[in-house]
Amino acid sequence: MTLERVTVLGATGSIGTSTLDVLGRHPERYRVHALTAHRSRESLLAQCRRHRPAVAVLDAEEDAAWLRGQLAEAGLATEARAGREALVEVAEAREVNTVMSAIVGAAGLLPTLAAVEAGKRVLLANKEALVMSGALFMDAVTRHGATLLPIDSEHNAIYQCLPVDHRGGLVRHGVTQLLLTASGGPFRGWSRDDLVRVTPDQACAHPNWSMGRKISVDSATLMNKGLELIEACWLFDARPDQVQVVVHPQSVIHSMAAYSDGSVIAQLGNPDMRTPIAYGLAWPERIDAGVEALDLFRIARLDFEPADEVAFPCLRLAREAMAAGGTAPAVLNAANEVAVEAFLAGRLGFTAIGELVGRVCDECPVMPADDLETILEVDALARRAARVRLARQ
Ligand code: NAD
Ligand code: MG
């Protein structure tokens, strides 16, 4: 078997470390080409010792210089680099077959697009990149012959429940609806009044999944489900009304596809991201992911309920942004990134996240999102609008 060379963008994060765990179980199959991180240089150094990549990338030159010194001392041949250009280069490098896109937020867009444009196998965890640039992104996948595999557990589940070649729209394949499951987050069943005083630590304590802080807050506001609804529309060529959100607190069914003959196909598993990661790495084969077998007797029951869009308006805002089209999802995403950062820094209340995002969405005009410059400009504009509103609070 020829060795697959893998770049992991966002290697020190929750998805990044799970990816390295799976890769480490199959040394005969995978080699790490590059690992990247924003500022966590100590974690990146530890990963370099273990996985011996050819390249390691950090954001600041100062951190890369520190890493260079440490690598030399450890006698490792890894080259330490800094900055966005280096990120793009390790995503599109000729020797790389597979790129794990696991940077959080808009910062992941350019390197992920570079991997797509280089025709790589792209494992997409970074949903914000697709939300911002949907049409452009999917068009680039087709034009450059990239293989796009969704890593977000819900989309990975749907991918597994659809026919192998599901291009050309859902209806053509007899699919009537995608059922996107949601845990409901840590505040399921809470009223809007209860939510006002929620703290960052409460919001980050997810009942079923252990994740980075930004996506944990998104899960708590249900913006994560909103971003995932947009993600599903792009990945599976679906309209927003073909995607139904189903709250399923046990997080055992990761999503489903309903067919015209009445069949509903679901993918089940323990809530462990190593399952979708291993699926994406080995597709169309299957490899060991280190995940415990599902014990249905221990789970005993599966519950379902509708989402509460009154207490959690972010889901509605996302659906509206997708229906509005063009740059609307990019505005939604940018405003949300600013709002979540402010919430995590203790500068914005929990319920104010949705309010701020709603106001910025109302304020920014919707334009066609045909080219990258427009998308990046709109992203910057929406961030500015959100910051101006924050400063006024
Ligand atoms: P995380 O915060 O744990 O890790 C983020 C990684 O990106 C880190 O390696 C960090 O150093 C790097 N990074 C952060 N900002 C950066 C920047 N400006 N430039 C370059 N690198 C930067 O996040 P996570 O939970 O692993 O999530 C990563 C992505 O995967 C997100 O888009 C998230 O929505 C998606 N995702 C995560 C999960 C999960 O279970 N954690 C599930 C589904 C989807
Ligand atoms: Mg998900």
CATH of the domain at 130: 3.40.50.720
ipTM of the modeled complex = 0.99
Q: Which two tokens stand for residue 69?
A: 């010194």
Residue 341: is its pLDDT beyond 80?
A: yes
Asked if the model's pLDDT at residue 124 lies above 80, the reply is: yes
CA 361 to CA 154: how far, in whole Å? 26
Is 164 found in the same domain as 126? Answer: no
DSSP 8-20: EETTTSHHHHHHH
Q: Do 188 and 249 sit in the same domain of this protein?
A: yes
Say yes or no: 165 and 277 in one domain.
yes
Same domain, 177 and 215: yes
**Where does a domain end: 132, 151, 170?**
151
Residues 273, 279: Cα–Cα separation, whole Å? 10
> What's the pLDDT score for residue 2?
85
Compute the average pLDDT of residues 160-169.
89
- One domain for residues 61 and 109: yes
The answer, yes or no, to whether residue 12 has pLDDT greater than 80, is yes
Structure token pair of residue 46: 């530890």
351 and 290 within one domain? yes
DSSP per-residue string spanning 247-276:
E-TT--EEEEEEETTS-EEEEE--S-THHH
Q: Averaged over 226-247, what is the pLDDT?
A: 97
For strand 30-36 and strand 4-9, is the pairing parallel, antiparallel, or unpaired?
parallel
Q: Name every residue whose Cβ is closer than 8 Å to that of residue 220 and which is 6 or more positions away in sequence.
A: 185, 186, 187, 198, 203, 204, 206, 350
The answer to the question of whether 147 is labelled as a binding residue is no
Ligand 1 within 6 A of CB of 235: no
Residue 18 CB less than 6 A away from ligand 1 = no
Which domain, by its residues, includes 18? 4-151
311 & 165 share domain: yes
Q: Which residue among 117, 135, 151 closes a domain?
A: 151
Q: Which of 51-55, 202-206, 282-286, 352-356 has the lowest mean pLDDT?
A: 202-206
Q: What is the model's pLDDT at position 357?
A: 98
Confidence band, pLDDT 50/70/90 cuts, at residue 144: very high
Percent of the residues in the chain that have a pLDDT greater than 90, as a whole number: 96
What confidence tier does 169 reach under pLDDT thresholds 50, 70, 90? confident
Same domain assignment for residues 105 and 218: no
pTM of the model: 0.98
Q: What is the pLDDT of residue 207?
A: 82
Q: What CATH number is attached to the domain comprising 287? A: 1.10.1740.10
| For residue 301, pLDDT beyond 80 | yes
For ligand 1, say whether the CB of 223 is within 6 Å of any of its atoms: no
Q: Are residues 97 and 122 in the same domain?
A: yes
| Long-range Cβ pairs for the range 198-202 (8 Å, 24+) | 198/349, 198/350, 198/351, 200/343, 200/344, 200/346
Residues, the chain: 393
Side chain identity at residue 259, one-letter code: Y
Which of 117, 151, 185 delimits the end of a domain? 151
Distance from Cα 12 to the centre of ligand 1, integer Å? 8
Q: Is residue 187 located within the same domain as residue 62?
A: no
91 C-beta closer than 6 A to ligand 1: no
Query: Is residue 38 scored above 80 in pLDDT?
Result: yes
Categorize the per-residue pLDDT at 19 as very low, low, confident or very high, splitting at 50, 70 and 90.
very high
Compute the distance between CA of residue 321 and CA of residue 179 in angstroms, rounded to an integer: 20
Residue nearest (by alpha carbon) to ligand 1 atom 39:
211
Instruction: Tell me how far apart the alpha carbons of residues 252 and 272 are, in angstroms, rounded to a whole number.
Output: 10
The total number of structural domains that make up the chain: 2
Check the annotation: does 13 bind a ligand. Answer: yes
Task: State residue 206 phi and psi, 5-degree precision.
Answer: -75, 140
Confidence at residue 306, expressed as pLDDT on a 0 to 100 scale: 97
Confidence band of 167 (pLDDT split at 50, 70, 90): confident
| Cα(123) to centroid(ligand 1), Å | 13
Residue 1: is its pLDDT beyond 80?
A: no
Please check whether residues 144 and 270 belong to one and the same domain.
no
pLDDT > 70 in the chain, percent: 100
Mean predicted lDDT score pLDDT of the chain: 97
What is the rounded CA–CA span in Å between residue 200 and residue 189? 18
Distance 152 CA to ligand 2 centre (A): 5
Q: Is 212 annotated as a binding residue?
A: yes
Do the beta carbons of residue 143 and residue 118 sit within 8 Å? Answer: no
Residue 43 marked as a ligand binder? no
Instruction: Tokens 């990044």: give the residue.
Output: 16
Q: Which pLDDT value is given to residue 317?
A: 98
pLDDT for res 381? 98
What pLDDT is stored for residue 208 in this prediction? Answer: 84
Antiparallel, parallel or unpaired: β 121-124 and 98-101:
parallel
| Substitution candidate for ligand 1 out of 35, 122, 211, 255 with most atoms within 8 A of CB | 211
Tell me the CA end-to-end span of the chain in Å, nearest whole number: 59
State the pLDDT at residue 206.
82
What mean pLDDT comes out for the span 342-346?
A: 97
In this structure, the answer to whether residues 145 and 267 fall within a common structural domain is: no
Mean pLDDT within 360-379 = 97
